[in-house]
A and B are shown apart, each in its own frame.
Chain A
Amino acid sequence: MNKISARQILLFLACIAPVGKLVLLPARLADASQNDLLFPFLLHILVQTGAVFCVLLAAKKETDLMGLLRNTFGKGAAFVLTALFSLFLLFSALLPLLEQKHFVQGAFYDTLPSVLVFSPFFLFAAYLCSKPLGSCGRVWDIVAPLAAAGLVGILILSAGSADLTALSPAGAAGGRGFLQGVRSACGWFCDAALLVPLLGKIEYKRGLAWKGAVCYLAGGAAALLFTAVFYGIFQETAINQLFAFTATSKYFAGVTTLGRIDYLFIFLLSLSMAYYVSLPLHGSVDCLLQLFGRRKHLPAILSAAVALLFTVITLSLDYRFGDVLSLLTGSLFWLFPLFSVLLPPLTLFLRRDRRA
């Protein structure tokens, strides 16, 4: 259970990683890129594909992040860098967590409920984080087919209502719109960074990096297709549709007679998202455990501490999501590419064996 097989990694990249891009990102991207959302989305996918390729290539060394850093830079530097990376993972969890909270409040209730309805999520996160990071692989085996079914189901129910010609001419917003789009979407593309704590736990197989890149590209293509369908349905009003995958399928003809059957797929996607959103927290706890060692009760204590911290943050930022979003996609956007685009290729240069 401490190891993640190549198949599990591929399932995560192809089926679960795209789920995080289906809630707020399409609307946000439409807003920032002046309704020219496909190219910034595509660029992020391509860049992340490269970064994922690098991390999976580094998995060949079969040494964890702390070990790689220690063998390259020495113990002290390794401690500081791993701690920094752990902090980044916590930071990167903020956006998807708040997004998830708003999604839950908006999509699962007829009237706006108290923020407390989201608090059981942190119990779940604490339980998940107390397990070895390798256990995620087992979860992905079960959840990936469900996520894929959810995404395909939503696409099928939505596709009929979309007018894809609304996307043309692509690139009409010019370079400025493109750059704005790229900048505002950075927070949603940290998948390569999420794989870094898994180093040393992946059962490397020949060709894993290539297969991983292809799977991520395939998953990204599905998310891109969904984004295109989403824009094809809502067009200029897309910026107001904050919970994309609950909005696109409600125009399906069967909804009138059968009720919101699309919610079956939404539930599947939400289940997958619960695991996806917890992954940075889990990764962060694992990095801390690499620093302090996996002592008897430490995983449970750290997990509880992280969950408690985020409960407090989420409760206190309940009405400040807009400000947080502006901060994370505005002045602090550079932190995301720093750790999720630049760091992954650097793992290739870290030493597997200790310096002589």
Chain B
Amino acid sequence: MKTVSGDLAKTKAALKKLLPAGDILLFDFASEKGLLFTCVFADPVTDKDLLGEQVVKPLLAYGGSPSAEEVGKRLAFAELKREKSLEKLAAEVLAGNPVLLWEGMDEGLVVGTKKVFARAVAEPPTDVTIKGPREGFVEDVKINASLVRKRLKTGELRIESFEVGRRSKTAVFLCYLEGTSDKKTVDGVKKRLKEIDIDYVPDSSYLTHFLSSRPYSLVKQIGTTEKPDIFCAKIAEGRVGLLVDGSPIALTAPYLLVEDFQSSEDYFVPPYRATFTRLLRLFALVVAIYLPAFYVAAQLFKLQLFPIKLLLTIAGSIRDIPFSPSLEMLLVCLVLEVLNEASIRMPKYVGMALSVVGALVLGETAVSAGFVSTPAIIIIAFSGIGLYAVPNLIEQTSVLRLVMLLVAGSVGTYGVILATAFVVLHLVTTENFGAPLVAPFSPMIGRDLRDSLVKFNLRSLPLRPKTLKSPNKRRLG
């Protein structure tokens, strides 16, 4: 391992060899007493104003000995670190922290004047609440950590730093409450984080692939949230949280499927209202997944499933449709998916026009031209809205809806029942970090059912969820 030598010229040359990029600058200056300093920094990611004010200016008047301790005292800067290894110094420079070298010293001083690029803390667009906190995570991991620390003012909160990504060296903060989170889960997350060997981590979603026990499964196995209040509540329950630099989406483990049927607002409204909305979300999701499938299966294989009057209406509307019911529904479903995908990516002003095109031109005209029937449009529209009742599961449920539709079109209702049996079996056998995905329903845990699809009064929830195996069971005094 190469280290800093007392010869400043040699050290500079060695560092320049390690960091040949054009945006790595070396700035030389001398103190009043003639001590030569060199500051190495990455131009785009270093706060140069801070560097000039807090580092260069005090050192210009420096007249003390060339020891690192003395220089450090002169700077009176909180984020200082001494380092001998040239590789580590180079890594710090790339992270935005300038390195100070000077003649006669065999170590460098890392100065934490990294430039922080961060947007303001704002309400996340995917998790809007009427009642309750409106802060959301941003892309800077340190700001996110401060949002967590602000809410959990306890020494038990541990925030451990990891670096993931061979080239991106993305900072990942592991957050948990010592004595509340299950040690096995904490160790398990640490182990999997250390095992990750990937070039580049642009977002927290990359980590979910490595933290999931079944990485190829359609099923979500790691919790996600953009809101610090939810993140902290989950940590306080005994979960482990991960903040990833560059991502406003924080991860939590272990994840239970029921979490996505709950919203932060459920805890700020009366429990009967929370229970009602949770059951409504489940109903909406079930209808969204199954309604198109059963409509197609009933048309193709079992007309008896329709009441006679509805059957006559449907028969009237599909009379001149050139496609089979399954193909018709599949086309409408795909058009909806395309519209949805396009409207998310397009600029807002184009999005409005797209809505008009989608609703009027495609919907209305397609019906009047006899390409698709009105019931098909109504069913897919309802299904599309229903899926968004549980927005965190949209990636999974939209695929599931399509699968059910294909199965219904080829095998009929029995195929849908079998596909459901498959899904149920897959869900109940999925575990991550020792927590069954479908708990507290399977395995059934009576105590945890009180805050699942139903929500009891806060006073009735004195204990932490049993599924999370927290060593500190009681949360209510």
A interface list, Cβ under 8 A from B: 1, 5, 7-8, 104, 108-110, 113, 117-118, 120-121, 123-124, 127-128, 131, 135, 137-139, 141-143, 256-260, 263, 267, 270-271, 274-275
Residue of B301, B417, B438 touching A110 (CB-CB under 8 A): B301
Given contacts A108-B301, A109-B302, A259-B310, contact A117 B412 (CB under 8 A): yes
Majority SS of interface residues in chain B? helix
Which residues from chain B contact A257 at a C-beta distance below 8 Å? Answer: 307, 309
Majority SS of interface residues in chain A? helix
Residue in B closest to A274 when the chains form the complex, CB atoms:
B421
**Contact between B303 and A128 (Cβ–Cβ < 8 Å)?**
no
**Contact between B305 and A1 (Cβ–Cβ < 8 Å)?**
no
Q: B117 an interface residue at 8 Å Cβ cutoff?
A: no
Q: B429 an interface residue at 8 Å Cβ cutoff?
A: yes
Q: How far is the CA of A121 from the CA of B407 in the complex (A)?
A: 13
**Contact between B418 and A143 (Cβ–Cβ < 8 Å)?**
no
Which residues from chain B contact A135 at a C-beta distance below 8 Å? Answer: 425, 428-429
Which residues from chain A contact B104 at a C-beta distance below 8 Å? Answer: none
6 A-B contact pairs sorted by A residue (CB < 8 Å): A7-B444, A110-B304, A113-B412, A123-B418, A141-B443, A258-B307
Residue of B310, B425, B441 touching A128 (CB-CB under 8 A): B425
Residue in B closest to A140 when the chains form the complex, CB atoms:
B442
Q: B306 an interface residue at 8 Å Cβ cutoff?
A: yes
Given contacts A135-B429, A138-B442, A141-B428, contact A271 B420 (CB under 8 A): yes
Q: Nearest-CB distance from B296 to chain A (Å)?
A: 14
**Contact between A259 and B302 (Cβ–Cβ < 8 Å)?**
no
**Contact between A141 and B442 (Cβ–Cβ < 8 Å)?**
yes
Q: How far is the CA of A110 from the CA of B418 in the complex (A)?
A: 19
Q: B323 an interface residue at 8 Å Cβ cutoff?
A: no
Which residues from chain A contact B306 at a C-beta distance below 8 Å? Answer: 259
Q: B424 an interface residue at 8 Å Cβ cutoff?
A: yes
Best-buried of B424, B431, B436 by chain A (most CB within 10 Å): B424
Q: Nearest-CB distance from A198 to chain B (Å)?
A: 16
**Contact between A104 and B421 (Cβ–Cβ < 8 Å)?**
no
How many residues of B are counted as interface, with CB atoms below 8 angstroms from the partner's CB atoms?
32
Residue in B closest to A263 when the chains form the complex, CB atoms:
B305
Q: B414 an interface residue at 8 Å Cβ cutoff?
A: yes
**Contact between B415 and A113 (Cβ–Cβ < 8 Å)?**
no
**Contact between B428 and A138 (Cβ–Cβ < 8 Å)?**
yes
Residue of B304, B307, B411, B429 touching A117 (CB-CB under 8 A): B411
Residue in B closest to A100 when the chains form the complex, CB atoms:
B414
Q: Nearest-CB distance from B213 to chain A (Å)?
A: 12
Q: How far is the CA of A123 from the CA of B304 in the complex (A)?
A: 28
Residue in B closest to A119 when the chains form the complex, CB atoms:
B411
Given contacts A128-B425, A141-B442, A142-B442, contact A260 B418 (CB under 8 A): no
**Contact between B305 and A259 (Cβ–Cβ < 8 Å)?**
yes
Which residues from chain A contact B310 at a C-beta distance below 8 Å? Answer: 259
Q: Nearest-CB distance from A8 to chain B (Å)?
A: 8
Given contacts A108-B301, A267-B417, contact A143 B424 (CB under 8 A): yes
Residue of A110, A121, A131 touching B302 (CB-CB under 8 A): A110
Residue in A closest to B436 when the chains form the complex, CB atoms:
A138
Which residues from chain B contact A7 at a C-beta distance below 8 Å? Answer: 444
**Contact between A271 and B421 (Cβ–Cβ < 8 Å)?**
yes
Q: How far is the CA of A123 from the CA of B419 in the complex (A)?
A: 10
Interface residues of B in 278-318 (CB under 8 A from A): 301-311
Q: B422 an interface residue at 8 Å Cβ cutoff?
A: yes
Q: How far is the CA of A354 from the CA of B290 in the complex (A)?
A: 53
Known: A109-B412, A124-B422, A135-B429. 5 other contacts (CB 8 A): A5-B443, A142-B424, A142-B438, A259-B304, A271-B417
Q: How far is the CA of A120 from the CA of B415 in the complex (A)?
A: 7
Which residues from chain A contact B307 at a C-beta distance below 8 Å? Answer: 256-259
Best-buried of B303, B412, B431 by chain A (most CB within 10 Å): B412
Given contacts A124-B418, A141-B444, A256-B308, contact A108 B425 (CB under 8 A): no
